[in-house]
Structure 1
Amino acid sequence: MDRLSGLDASFLYLETPAQLMHVCGLIVLDPATMPGPYSFRAFRDGIEERVRDVPDFTRKLRRVPLGLDHPIWVRDTDFDIERHVHRMSLPTPGGYAELVELASHLAGLPLDRSRPLWEMWVIEGYAGEDGRDRIAVFSKMHHATVDGVSGANLVSHLCSLEPEGDPIGGGEEKRWPHEPGRLELLGRAAVSSGLRPFQTVNLLAPTVRSVVGTIGRAREGTAMAAPLTAPRTPFNGTITSHRAVALADMDLGDVKAVKAATGTTVNDVVLAVAGGALRGYLEDRDELPSSSLLATVPVSVREESRRSDGANKVSALFARLGTDVEDPLERLEELATANRHAKEHHQAISADALQDWAEFAAPRTFGLAVRAYASLRLAERHPVVHNLVISNVPGPPVPLYFLGARIEGLYPLGPVFHGAGLNITVMSHHGRVGVGVIACREAVDDVDDLARRFPVELDRLREAVGTTDREPAEV
């Protein structure tokens, strides 16, 4: 039986009509490298050929009777690629503005839970800067199915290292598990419920040790930033289902040059750039808080986790972004020091702590609580937990081909939450860093202005450390 882990299922329970829990991605393709002429039908058939035997693409949810346990995955015996891969065309002039407007609309549509939890839109008529037509692929997968790393692994089923090469994600075929009947599901749920009190006892001791350790680190000044200490900004309230998307690119070589010159990490540089972009954005609108913004930074624990089940193997740390520091180099240095402490603090906490506690999320109770939280607009009444989510996903360092079309841009887009209506995700690929910004449209008035500031802030850092040898970017 393929049961969802508590953490995977939590993303189902967190979902409301406004708080959509899917992760998106926009891929820009050059069809000129395809072995044959592009046609949507052949493109869709190629996708079907590569995913039809991959359970992650062809499984759907089955609820446990009475909601007594987390749902299970079962095979969709009526899987139809036409319900998952759609064709669209951009209106004239088919440029960046039209592309992100369409992506924003698609990001705000929920997935159909009666089918496998993913969809793709093949978007034709996107005009590249050189005047040649491009294809864009906008994808959505529910967070119950993927995290950042597993999502990238799933996309590899559609990508190759050469235009006519085999998919990177090919290999051993996964076998479908036994599908239990109603009585078996009820019996397993009863056993799981009976064991829960004993599991709670086992978790209490390590949790108490973590709390005591955190208190000690706080006294020494080496603890990570604490939640519920973030300043309030316009994007820290109750969100709607409307989304706004913006994209930007940075040079990975520039990021690494700053990293090498300062003895920091790629993640430090990315967070410092984000802090500078957010500072400028808020300052220009007279909305910059006097204290630093606080970001939740998801961390993959796939290598450290002892759990074999579940698609999501993540934890999180909190990081102050230095938005109260004007000098970009000083901001980076402060961030690097704080991040070292945060990583040490995070490593002292069990890699499976979040996943273990998530097992206790009761389907009915959790869902009712989330809806009550939204309807009562509680995100606007209590201290701000965090201002936004920032994810840094390492991508392939080599060129990739999506069904033969060369990938020119990879832009990941994560979910937004009540209380944190802004998400920034970056992903490296073949010397570039794609920046995906997604927000509640009512919370962030100009996401494109925010995205454009990323390469500008990177140039400011390069100038500050003396690594620049070309003209800086402009807003």
Structure 2
Amino acid sequence: MASITRMSGFDAGFLYMETPSMHMHTLKIAVLDPSTDNTFDNLIERMTERLRLLPPMRRRVVQVPFRLNHPVLVTQRSIDPERHFFRHDIGGDGTMRELEKLIGEICSTPLDRSVPLWELHLCEGLPDGKVAIVGKIHHALADGLAANAMLANVMDVASTDLRPGGARGETHDGVDDPSHSLLVRHALRDGARQILDFPKLITTTVRRILAVVRYRRAMEGSVPTPVKDAPRTSFNGPLTRRRSFATVTIPLAELKRARAAHATEIDGLTLNDVVLGVTSGALRRWLAAQGEFPLRSLLAGVPVGLDANDIEPRLMGNNVSNLFTTLATDVDDPVERLRTISITTRHAKAINQRLGTSLMDWSQFAPPAPFAAAVRAYSRVRGARFHPAAFNVIVSNVPGPRERVKIAGSQLSDVFSVGPLTEGIGLNVTVWSYMDHMNFSLLACPDLLPDVEVLAAYVPAALAELLGEPEPGAAAEPVAEDQQDTPEPGNHPGNQESA
């Protein structure tokens, strides 16, 4: 059974969550410098040569009859390039904005579940002969850390910094799909083993919850509660299938300078806190431009890897939790806003550590058929319109390569990444670093947030605010003639929670 593995309940949950309007794939976008190697045929050849270093890209999801247990992943003997590799031309002088629009279109369609859950799109026609490769992989197969490790396995690097422990290859050649009788037998066997773990899970969960209760009572300040503390905004509602994408690049040194400028007055300030502060500042500007400014702060859901310190890189699956923190969008002073974010996030991390893997452990017992049916029904009736979202925006930060690298023989000019949207939450901000800069990539549902590129353009101004410097002219807030008197965030005369 080395080539057939049972999906964990947590991994399979990303399959159950998928609906026609909620696509659970992630994107990795690599922009390559001009090279004679930047051809469609070369991309197919180089990637298929390295498939053994990319385990998820060889595995297809096979459902168990009657949904008796979570699906299995079956290693394919080979892949059909026509089902995974696609080619696009954006005109020869295509701008970054045109590439972003194409990426939004690529993201708007779900992956084909009859083959391994990934696609690679070669986007030609960028200025100066550059090309972009858009990788699309299902979240059920890999989280951000696993995707980062896979990216390292297709890079040609000058040092071993990106691959602690070395690349792990597969030796098996794949198998045919298992018979229905085999799938049923193993589903029942694995289910019986899971039941034996149930009493221990209850005891562990109770102990973790009590630890959280004790911490909350002793801590100074508060941590927001999902749903209860999340205000309503225009981009929190039922998703449609459409997606839009935008990016903005910030020098890493500038973000570090912002941290250094406030480190003495804010104990324990981290670079992640600064990223949240910049995101908050950009959102404040966007909300004010819309005439929409909730009295309560927006909440962020922040994915946190649980194995970030492991020596051996993980190439498959998900080992991630979520913490919930404030973006302090109701605080006018940028330094006080950053302080509030930092203190709240520190408490949220401590609570998250005490909860551990509770969500992942309980998801193992989620019944596949009822779970998936409930999610589809909720999406079909547009259930997100009836209640506040659990939180308002997803914000994640994943460290990328720290040195210049090559992919398929071509120099990597830049790299971007973004995760999926979830029902009720129409905005995802994913920050991925490369060498000396950090790329803020924004994915939105345009039927909820129609101008994601405008929101992205506010990021440099939000950083300048933290640094106490004049806002960059390029990031000046676009104001229509009939909006000349729009007040600053926090000073809106009709400041109230949005409906």
Scaled by the length of structure 1, what TM-score is found?
0.90
Cα distance, 1:198 vs structure 2: 3.8
Q: Return the alpha-carbon distance in structure 2 between the equivalents of residues 180 and 43 of structure 1.
A: 31
Q: 1:26 aligns with which of 29, 34, 40?
A: 29
Task: Please name the residue that 1:44 is paired with.
Answer: 44
How has the CA–CA distance of structure 1 residues 372 and 471 changed in structure 2, closer, same or farther, with 3 Å as cutoff? closer
> For residues 351-404 of structure 1, what are the alpha-carbon distances to aligned partners after superposition, in whole Å with 9 as ceiling and x for unaligned?
x22221110121111110001111222211123211111111011211121222
Cα distance, 1:283 vs structure 2: 1.1
> Which range moves more in the overlay, 154-163 or 201-210?
154-163
How has the CA–CA distance of structure 1 residues 252 and 304 changed in structure 2, closer, same or farther, with 3 Å as cutoff? closer
Q: 1:369 aligns with which of 367, 374, 379?
A: 374
Cα distance, 1:54 vs structure 2: 3.7
Q: Is contact 2:400–2:434 with CA below 8 Å preserved after alignment? A: yes
Aligned length: 459
Q: Return the alpha-carbon distance in structure 2 between the equivalents of residues 231 and 215 of structure 1.
A: 24
Task: Please name the residue that 1:157 is paired with.
Answer: 153
Q: Is contact 2:153–2:167 with CA below 8 Å preserved after alignment? A: no
Cα distance, 1:431 vs structure 2: 0.7
Task: Please name the residue that 1:139 is paired with.
Answer: 135
Cα distance, 1:247 vs structure 2: 0.7
Structure 2 counterpart SS, 1:317: strand
Structure 1 counterpart SS, 2:379: helix
Task: Please name the residue that 2:66 is paired with.
Answer: 66
Structure 2 counterpart SS, 1:424: strand
Task: Please name the residue that 1:356 is paired with.
Answer: 361
Task: Please name the residue that 2:253 is paired with.
Answer: 253
Cα distance, 1:405 vs structure 2: 2.0
Is 1:203 matched with 2:206?
no
Is 1:75 matched with 2:45?
no
The amino acid of 1:348's aligned partner reads R
Q: Is contact 2:142–2:315 with CA below 8 Å preserved after alignment? A: no
Is 1:110 matched with 2:105?
no
Mapping for residues 329-340 of structure 1, pairs under 5 Å: 329-340=335-346
> For residues 276-333 of structure 1, what are the alpha-carbon distances to aligned partners after superposition, in whole Å with 9 as ceiling and x for unaligned?
111110111111101100010000002579xx99610001100100111122211111
Mapping for residues 421-460 of structure 1, pairs under 5 Å: 421-460=426-465
Scaled by the length of structure 2, what TM-score is found?
0.86
Q: Is contact 1:91–1:98 with CA below 8 Å preserved after alignment? A: no
Q: Return the alpha-carbon distance in structure 2 between the equivalents of residues 39 and 197 of structure 1.
A: 52
Is 1:235 matched with 2:235?
yes
Task: Please name the residue that 1:173 is paired with.
Answer: 169
Q: 2:13 aligns with which of 10, 19, 44?
A: 10
Q: Is contact 1:224–1:317 with CA below 8 Å preserved after alignment? A: no
Structure 1 counterpart SS, 2:110: coil
The root-mean-square deviation of aligned C-alpha atoms, in Å, is 2.5
Q: Is contact 1:86–1:120 with CA below 8 Å preserved after alignment? A: yes
Structure 1 counterpart SS, 2:300: strand
Mapping for residues 121-136 of structure 1, pairs under 5 Å: 121-127=121-127, 132-136=128-132
Structure 1 counterpart SS, 2:120: strand
Q: Return the alpha-carbon distance in structure 1 between the equivalents of residues 186 and 50 of structure 2.
A: 34
Q: Is contact 1:9–1:144 with CA below 8 Å preserved after alignment? A: yes
> For residues 34-64 of structure 1, what are the alpha-carbon distances to aligned partners after superposition, in whole Å with 9 as ceiling and x for unaligned?
4x55432223212222225643211111111
Task: Please name the residue that 2:266 is paired with.
Answer: none
Q: Return the alpha-carbon distance in structure 1 between the equivalents of residues 201 and 163 of structure 2.
A: 39
Q: Return the alpha-carbon distance in structure 2 between the equivalents of residues 360 and 56 of structure 1.
A: 23
Task: Please name the residue that 1:321 is paired with.
Answer: 327
Structure 1 counterpart SS, 2:430: strand
Task: Please name the residue that 2:383 is paired with.
Answer: 378
Cα distance, 1:101 vs structure 2: 1.2
Structure 1 counterpart SS, 2:69: coil
Task: Please name the residue that 1:224 is paired with.
Answer: 223
Q: Return the alpha-carbon distance in structure 2 between the equivalents of residues 194 and 126 of structure 1.
A: 55
Q: Return the alpha-carbon distance in structure 2 between the equivalents of residues 81 and 50 of structure 1.
A: 14
Q: Is contact 1:59–1:73 with CA below 8 Å preserved after alignment? A: yes
Structure 2 counterpart SS, 1:119: strand
The amino acid of 2:226's aligned partner reads P
Structure 2 counterpart SS, 1:20: coil
Give the unaligned 5+ runs of structure 1: none
Structure 1 counterpart SS, 2:447: coil
Q: Return the alpha-carbon distance in structure 1 between the equivalents of residues 475 and 342 of structure 2.
A: 26
> What is the percentage of aligned positions where both structures have the same residue?
36
> For residues 10-36 of structure 1, what are the alpha-carbon distances to aligned partners after superposition, in whole Å with 9 as ceiling and x for unaligned?
0000001110000012221112xx4x5
Task: Please name the residue that 2:479 is paired with.
Answer: none
How has the CA–CA distance of structure 1 residues 407 and 304 changed in structure 2, closer, same or farther, with 3 Å as cutoff? closer
Q: Return the alpha-carbon distance in structure 2 between the equivalents of residues 223 and 7 of structure 1.
A: 29
Q: Is contact 1:296–1:389 with CA below 8 Å preserved after alignment? A: yes
Cα distance, 1:418 vs structure 2: 1.1
> Which range moves more in the overlay, 169-178 or 423-432?
169-178
> For residues 399-427 of structure 1, what are the alpha-carbon distances to aligned partners after superposition, in whole Å with 9 as ceiling and x for unaligned?
12122222222111110011111111001
Is 1:183 matched with 2:181?
yes
Q: Is contact 1:5–1:310 with CA below 8 Å preserved after alignment? A: no
Cα distance, 1:256 vs structure 2: 1.1
> For residues 210-237 of structure 1, what are the alpha-carbon distances to aligned partners after superposition, in whole Å with 9 as ceiling and x for unaligned?
3333333333445532111200001111
Structure 2 counterpart SS, 1:43: helix
> Which range moves more in the overlay, 257-266 or 409-418?
257-266
Q: Return the alpha-carbon distance in structure 1 between the equivalents of residues 207 and 388 of structure 2.
A: 26
Cα distance, 1:93 vs structure 2: 4.2
Q: Return the alpha-carbon distance in structure 2 between the equivalents of residues 371 and 23 of structure 1.
A: 20
Q: Return the alpha-carbon distance in structure 2 between the equivalents of residues 103 and 311 of structure 1.
A: 24
The amino acid of 1:60's aligned partner reads R
Q: Return the alpha-carbon distance in structure 2 between the equivalents of residues 96 and 377 of structure 1.
A: 34
Task: Please name the residue that 2:482 is paired with.
Answer: none
Is 1:294 matched with 2:305?
no
Q: Return the alpha-carbon distance in structure 2 between the equivalents of residues 92 and 160 of structure 1.
A: 27
Cα distance, 1:182 vs structure 2: 3.1
Task: Please name the residue that 2:480 is paired with.
Answer: none
